[in-house]
Copies of this chain bind each other. A is one copy, B any other.
Amino acid sequence: MIKAGIIGVTGYAGQELFSLLLNHPEVEVSFVTSRSYGGKPLRQVYGNYFNITSVNCKDNYLDFNNLDLDVLFIALPHGLASEIITQEFIRKFKIIDLGADYRFKDNKVYEDWYNTEHKNTSLLKYAVYGLCELNRELIKNSSLVANPGCYTTCSILSLAPLVKEGVINNRSIIIDAKSGVSGAGRGVNLNTHYAECNESVKAYKIASHRHTPEIEEQLSYLAKENFNIVFTPHLVPMNRGILVTAYAELNKELDYDEVKSIYEKYYKYEHFIRLLPKEVFPNTKWVKGSNYIDINFKIDKRTNRIIVIGAIDNLVKGAAGQAVQNMNILFNLKETTGLKRIPLFP
Cβ contacts under 8 Å, A22 to chain B = 342
Give 1 or 0 for each of A212-238: 1 = CB within 8 Å of chain B CB.
Answer: 000000000000000011101010111
Cβ contacts under 8 Å, A123 to chain B = none
A188 touches B188 (CB 8 A): yes
B307 touches A239 (CB 8 A): no
Cβ contacts under 8 Å, A284 to chain B = 199-202
B239 touches A281 (CB 8 A): no
Task: Say whether A129 faces chain B, with CB atoms less than 8 Å apart.
Answer: no
Which residues of A, 265-281, contact B by the 8 Å Cβ criterion? 271, 274, 276, 280-281
Task: Say whether A61 faces chain B, with CB atoms less than 8 Å apart.
Answer: no
In the assembled complex, the CB of A175 is this many whole angstroms from the nearest CB of chain B, namely 10
Task: Say whether A64 faces chain B, with CB atoms less than 8 Å apart.
Answer: no
B281 touches A237 (CB 8 A): no
B305 touches A230 (CB 8 A): yes
Cβ contacts under 8 Å, A238 to chain B = 198-201, 237
What are 19 A-B contacts defined by CB distance under 8 Å? A47-B280, A52-B342, A176-B176, A176-B232, A178-B201, A196-B285, A199-B239, A200-B241, A200-B284, A202-B311, A203-B281, A203-B309, A206-B309, A207-B298, A207-B300, A228-B303, A229-B303, A230-B300, A237-B238
B241 touches A245 (CB 8 A): no
Task: Say whether A126 faces chain B, with CB atoms less than 8 Å apart.
Answer: no
A232 touches B245 (CB 8 A): yes
Known interface pairs A190-B186, A302-B228. Does A307 touch B346 (Cβ–Cβ under 8 Å)?
A: no
Which residues of A, 331-346, contact B by the 8 Å Cβ criterion? 340, 342-346
B199 touches A346 (CB 8 A): yes
Which A residues have a C-beta under 8 Å from some C-beta of B? 12, 15, 19, 22-23, 46-52, 171, 174, 176, 178, 180-182, 186, 188-190, 192-204, 206-207, 228-230, 232, 234, 236-241, 243, 245, 247, 271, 274, 276, 280-290, 292, 294, 298-300, 302-303, 305, 307, 309, 311, 340, 342-346
Cβ contacts under 8 Å, A287 to chain B = 48
Cβ contacts under 8 Å, A283 to chain B = 47, 200-202
Cβ contacts under 8 Å, A15 to chain B = 345
Cβ contacts under 8 Å, A207 to chain B = 298-300, 302-303, 305, 307
Cβ contacts under 8 Å, A241 to chain B = 199-201
B234 touches A245 (CB 8 A): yes
